[in-house]
Amino acid sequence: MMELVSDYQKNILGLQLPTDPRWVDLAHISLEEILTDHAYCEQKAATSCISLIQRYPDKEKLVTELAPIVTEEWGHFRLVLAELKKRNLKLGKQRKDEYVNKLINFQKKGGSDEERFLDKLLIFALIEARSCERFKRLSEGLKDNYLSNFYRRFMESEAGHYSLFIDLAETYIEKNIVRMRWQQWLEYESQVMKELEVRGDRIH
Ligand SMILES: [Fe+2]
Ligand SMILES: [Fe+2]
């Protein structure tokens, strides 16, 4: 299991398309917007984990493992909120999440329960992986030491969540099937990234 996880880990920042380097500079000059967007990403992560628990109460491992992640993601939301406040910035309105909406389009509509379940887990794994990659970019690209450390903590945390969703998928579904579908998701995601405008007011 550990080997498999580390195999995926190598892939994580090897998402097929690395973030456009211009993005970090754009994000830095729109700090209020990027923090607002980040806050809602954390809120949505918490809400999504709650939805999974509500949807699959019979999957004991999933419930046990995701329950503390809800707390953690909500903790992240609060950290970002505190950061806004400290800087006298305001939490703005939630925007339409084009990246996530495009990913949702790729989810299997018909298919078996298992296929739909797998896609749910993989979409979350993917969002965690891309968020992790973006936080890594911010952490490495910002000249401000404080912000650099701030984002590094999120990067580490989201990397762990990414592994957890993959691990959950492999707990309930055959590994070969998980791997095959994961490759399809990675390819699709790189297309999505290519098509999205590079904007500094959003995490993805
Ligand atoms: Fe988070
Ligand atoms: Fe997360």
Contact 103, 127 (CB under 8 A): yes
Q: Which of 152, 126, 157, 128 is nearest to 141 (CA)?
A: 152
What are the start-end ranges of the H helices in 56-173?
A: 60-86, 98-106, 113-141, 145-172
CB-CB contact of 111 with 55 (8 Å) = no
Distance from CA of residue 128 to its chain's centroid?
A: 2
Tell how far the Cα of 42 is from the centroid of ligand 2, in angstroms.
7
* Domains observed in the chain: 25-195 (1.20.1260.10)
Q: Which ligand is nearest to the CA of 159?
A: 2
pLDDT digits (tens, 9 = 90+) for 25-77: 888 888 899 999 999 999 999 999 999 999 999 999 999 999 999 999 999 99
Give residue 106 CA to ligand 1 midpoint distance, Å.
23
CA of 9 to the centre of ligand 2 (A): 15
Q: Which ligand is nearest to the CA of 43?
A: 1
pLDDT over 70 (residue 155): yes
Has this prediction a pTM greater than 0.85? yes
